[in-house]
Structure 1
Amino acid sequence: MDPNSSQRASVTVADVARKAGVSKATAARVLGGYGTVSDRVRDAVTVAARALDYRPNELARSMTTGRSGTIGVVVGDIENPFFSLAVRGITDIARQAGFTVILINSGEDVSAEKAAIRTLVAKRVDGLIVSPAKESDVEHLREAARSGRPLALLDRGSEAFEVDTVIADDRHAAAGITRQLIELGHRRIAYITACDTPDRVFHTPNDINTGSVRRRVEGFLDTCREAGLPAMERWVYMGAVTPEQTRQIAKRMLEGKNRPTAVIASDSVIGLEIFKTSRLIGLAIPQELSLISFHDADWTAVTSPPVTVVRQPVYQLGETAAKLLVERLNGNDTAPRKVVLRTEVVERASVARLLED
């Protein structure tokens, strides 16, 4: 044990004030980061605190300033590279603004998300960034906002809840890659998502609670409809929640008599399992199966062939959500803002013209 640790822990604001030659209230303002003081006083207190190796009592500072210095973040799956990168964007901005991030994984479960929000509110976080598991179920988010905490939604908006929101142009992106596949001669195009229904069957886009995925499916179906392709709802596959479930869906789909000639994976975790399963059953990409995946995960650029992807501004999604939240914490009281970031298609070698159908 460090013999000086107890001595450091006993250094108080009053000790710093005495050494700096200022009042305790003035030292508290400098050390707590609130109120106004002259540069000379701030420098004197800072030097004294450093000389005494002062360590702030976070609980006491929270009670004094009304701030905990923390931001709560709830995402659907921290193992998904998409969320990992988005959280990196959040934490970078939060750190620059002097906040620590508390991260909780909901597992895309609304009950877990509600419990996470309750925990974060109990821990007195200053604000929240949430990627809602179910956009139609947001009353718990309303309650959190009513408690006085600023809130921003990440990647998934809610028509029922006016709040700062950052999303990507998912519908436009999905429409673009679907149009590309149709122009290359593909008619049997499958779309695979982790979103699910009780009967594991897609009926309408309203079946999908995750807004980003719903917008993609809408873009996919609208473009197919415009091209005269009938009943494309049957080509939307649900329930690719785990790698094992995705492999089962992919195997059943790709070994069927009327298999798709092209597949759109709703995220890179699904895309990887589609790639591996097609290789396992002997389907050559892109000669026998074209593949496009959302999210430019690292693996997509190093496979043979490398995979064409929709590159989402994932880091920027997190970064922008954090910036909006920090602005609220700094007193911005304008109307809720909705920011839509552009995606881009990265052409690689997993898509080919259909030579015969």
Structure 2
Amino acid sequence: MNGEGARRRDVTVADVAKAAQVSKAQAARALGNYGAVSDDVRERVLAAAEALSYRPNELARSMNTGKSHTIGVVVGDIENPHFGLATRGITDAAKKAGYNVILVNTDEDRAAEVEAVRVLLDKRVDGLIVAPASSVDTEHLRQVHQSGRPLVFLDRSGGTLDVETVAVDMAKISLQATQYLLGAGHRRIAFISTLRTDSPYRADMVLDSSQIADRLEGMRQAYLAAGLPFPEDLVRLNAGDADSIRSITREVLRGPEQATAVVASDGLIALSVVEAIQELGLSIPADVSFLMYDDFPWTRLTSPPLTVIAQPVYNMGAAAAKALIRQMEGLPRAAPAQFTATLVRRGSVGTVRAAAAAPKLGQLAGEPA
């Protein structure tokens, strides 16, 4: 086999030293930017490294310096545009500060998250940004925190852990959004989420996700303030794939106690909910009102444009990276960044009178009234 067909051997520090006509120790100091080395030697070494297309062994460097200049990021679902946008904010801020990012997806599974954290620590990342799959079962994250490894939570809290957290006040914006729906006359408001639970929702349940728990608490507070009973039967969790989301949507829109408004907890759920509503031949907002969390360009292109709860997701990701970098560089902890979600009112919420006047779903499907 000729040389062109063979795998090219990686250029080593010894190769650079030989080309620069200096010792290996001098070349290592010049390339690693540590220790005493003359300007002449540094220039020769750097010129040789460029000519040879030398790339440093990052693992060896991290073992020598204790720094890898990498950040580990653990999120639940990279298919969800919410996390995609947050990750973009993280990587942009990290790159500007000279750090690389290693991203791991857990599919919102705690066991996968435990393994992801272990792998990233084995790779000697300098710090971790985690969107916890569970805000309750966080022992693995407690161990990271107690070890002194820099750690920031994104989007969700870690329960009682005193870890810097970048998130919005979900209970507050959920209260506001529910009051808006109640003000339009809606009493039967469905809430659909992918959060996994072992049983149907009950008000006394301890939920793994602080985000979902806070959203439901905001809804309950709005009903309580209005002197109305909270429709627990319309809180539907465990909405897994698109088929189950469409099935749940059909369920909450059936029968005499059907929902007159549906709230989707993220953009992926929203797509399947809207699809199911269309398949049923119902109209938004004449037959059913619709509201979703997160604002993406497509929500303005539907007919009608969708009412959303907008979060500054990109800025939250960037803030999480900056907070982690401050920790990694030994700087004092800054005041927590304050982020606010906004209810963006468009055309997908109407008065309940319009929905009440519409034919029942059974009639639309040709079933007896």
TM-score by length of 1: 0.89
SS where residue 230 of structure 1 aligns?
A: coil
What amino acid is the match of 1:10? V
Change in CA separation of 1:40 and 1:292 when aligned onto 2, cut-off 3 Å: farther
The aligned counterpart of 1:228 is 227
The aligned counterpart of 1:61 is 61
2: CA distance, partners of 1:43 / 1:243: 59
The aligned counterpart of 1:15 is 16
The aligned counterpart of 2:313 is 314
2: CA distance, partners of 1:350 / 1:330: 47
1: CA distance, partners of 2:167 / 2:142: 19
SS where residue 291 of structure 2 aligns?
A: strand
- Tell me the alpha carbon deviations over residues 243-281 of structure 1, each in whole angstroms, 9 at most, x when there is no partner: 121111111111222111111111111111111111111
SS where residue 248 of structure 1 aligns?
A: helix
- Where do residues 292-331 of structure 1 align in structure 2 (5 Å cutoff)? 292-331=291-330
Note if contact 2:201-2:237 (Cα within 8 Å) is conserved in structure 1. yes
2: CA distance, partners of 1:96 / 1:36: 28
Offset, 1:127: 1.0
Note if contact 1:16-1:52 (Cα within 8 Å) is conserved in structure 2. no
Listed as ranges, the gaps of 5+ residues in structure 2 are 357-369
What amino acid is the match of 1:137? D
2: CA distance, partners of 1:321 / 1:292: 27
- Tell me the alpha carbon deviations over residues 215-242 of structure 1, each in whole angstroms, 9 at most, x when there is no partner: 1111111011101111333332222122
Offset, 1:158: 2.2
SS where residue 339 of structure 1 aligns?
A: coil
What amino acid is the match of 1:350? S
Offset, 1:147: 3.5
Change in CA separation of 1:53 and 1:226 when aligned onto 2, cut-off 3 Å: same
Note if contact 1:202-1:237 (Cα within 8 Å) is conserved in structure 2. no
What amino acid is the match of 1:255? R
1: CA distance, partners of 2:183 / 2:173: 16
Listed as ranges, the gaps of 5+ residues in structure 1 are none
What amino acid is the match of 1:347? R
Offset, 1:130: 0.7
Offset, 1:32: 3.0
2: CA distance, partners of 1:312 / 1:329: 27
Note if contact 2:175-2:219 (Cα within 8 Å) is conserved in structure 1. yes
Offset, 1:179: 1.1
Note if contact 1:169-1:340 (Cα within 8 Å) is conserved in structure 2. no
2: CA distance, partners of 1:68 / 1:135: 29
- Where do residues 1-357 of structure 1 align in structure 2 (5 Å cutoff)? 6=8, 9-12=10-13, 15=16, 19=20, 28-29=28-29, 31-32=31-32, 46-204=46-204, 206-334=205-333, 338-355=336-353, 357=356
Change in CA separation of 1:70 and 1:237 when aligned onto 2, cut-off 3 Å: same
2: CA distance, partners of 1:293 / 1:39: 60
2: CA distance, partners of 1:4 / 1:11: 18
Change in CA separation of 1:4 and 1:214 when aligned onto 2, cut-off 3 Å: same
Change in CA separation of 1:115 and 1:355 when aligned onto 2, cut-off 3 Å: same
Identical aligned residues as a percent: 44
Note if contact 1:32-1:65 (Cα within 8 Å) is conserved in structure 2. no
Change in CA separation of 1:92 and 1:5 when aligned onto 2, cut-off 3 Å: farther
Matched residues, number: 353
Offset, 1:92: 1.4
Larger Rg: 1 or 2? Answer: 2
Offset, 1:100: 2.0
Q: CA RMSD in A?
A: 2.7
Offset, 1:95: 1.9
Note if contact 1:317-1:341 (Cα within 8 Å) is conserved in structure 2. yes
Offset, 1:98: 2.2
- Tell me the alpha carbon deviations over residues 7-50 of structure 1, each in whole angstroms, 9 at most, x when there is no partner: 7x3341683598397x7666545533567989998766544532
